[in-house]
Amino acid sequence: MHSPQSESERSRRSFLSTSAAAVTTVVSSAAVKNLVADESKDSGEDATARMVKQLQATLSPKQQAEMCFDWNHQTEEHGILRTHLQANWQINPHAVFSDFYTSDQQELIEAIFWSLYNPEWKQKIQKQLKDDSNGFGKGHSIALFGNPETGPFELVLTGRHLTVRCDGNTTPNVAFGGPMFYGHAANAFDEGPDHPGNVYWSQAVKANQVYGTLDGRQRKLALIKNSPPEEDIEFRLSGEFPGLPVSEMSPDQKEHLQAVVNLLLEPYRKTDRIEALQCLQAQGGLEKCALSFYESDDVGEDGIWDTWRLEGPSFVWHYRGDPHVHVWTNVASDPSVEITTA
């Protein structure tokens, strides 16, 4: 661990104090409870699910044959394709903005995509899409699993630094329809220590502010020399997690950590934020999780930890910031849920 008198520690203190104002406002714990209460009053079918049904109804036999699959369709390369996850991949060879789809279908697919996000994040997501894929659609593809009319279904959209899902809440025991990936390379493949222009760097800023509140013993537990493989987000059935147990944090520190969770969830639509929080609570909440930071990926060697991880019985949020941002997520209410990653 860095000496309290080291230049990197002074840099850390300056960073934590000057960056606080730049972090996006997060929802308080009380506000989260109100959010859940308000949403529980809503009724009717998910609007995004209705759009998926509408899309399915427009698909030609050729389109259905090439981008619609059985619920547990498997491939030799990826296993169960619906639950697979990579940092940069195409689930289907046909780009959204290609002649495989009609212009009306392209418009509907894009509407489905944006409906999965918090409208307040649209400008940031547009920047990520432009930087990484020259905008939405050219480097993104979709696949539809199951049947939205008769049973469980899931629409999966993939591309560079992106895997998102729409399941109409038909996939049991999971949030977001299953594991997700998001990331950003803002101005270069190798970003500098401050990650200028990266739309997700504020999440690491907020996590490092939590680290700044830890005492020496807590830092010793939280700070780990080498990070695990970034795609290692399957649930640990042992119930043992690396890092500082949240149960050993003070009430104020836990409140700061809850603010981190809120910021992680903030880009997504309200229903998915709620479902993720409910899944976390189903396995004991933050009290059952552990927080870890990794020395091995310290860009600029400034003691501001670019890679960190929050993990619990069925909650994994792995943030890798070296050389640019990759984030792997897996949130469920049941730790026996299985996924595949590259």
Task: Render pLDDT for 241-284 as a digit per residue (tens, 0 to 9).
Answer: 999 999 999 999 999 999 999 999 999 999 999 999 999 999 99
Residue 290: partners with Cβ closer than 8 Å, 6 or more residues away: 241, 242, 243, 244, 245, 246, 310, 311, 312
Looking at per-residue pLDDT, the higher value among 264 and 45 belongs to 264
* pLDDT number for residue 245: 98
Average pLDDT, stretch 162-188?
Answer: 95
Model pTM? 0.88
Categorize the per-residue pLDDT at 182 as very low, low, confident or very high, splitting at 50, 70 and 90.
very high
Determine contact, residues 94/27, Cβ cutoff 8 Å. no
52, amino acid identity: V
Beta-carbon neighbour count of residue 170 at 10 Å? 16
The segment with the largest mean pLDDT, out of 3-7, 134-138, 235-239, is 134-138
Average pLDDT, stretch 134-140?
Answer: 96
Task: Report the alpha-carbon distance of residue 277 to residue 38 in Å, rounded.
Answer: 14
Q: What is the mean pLDDT of the chain?
A: 89
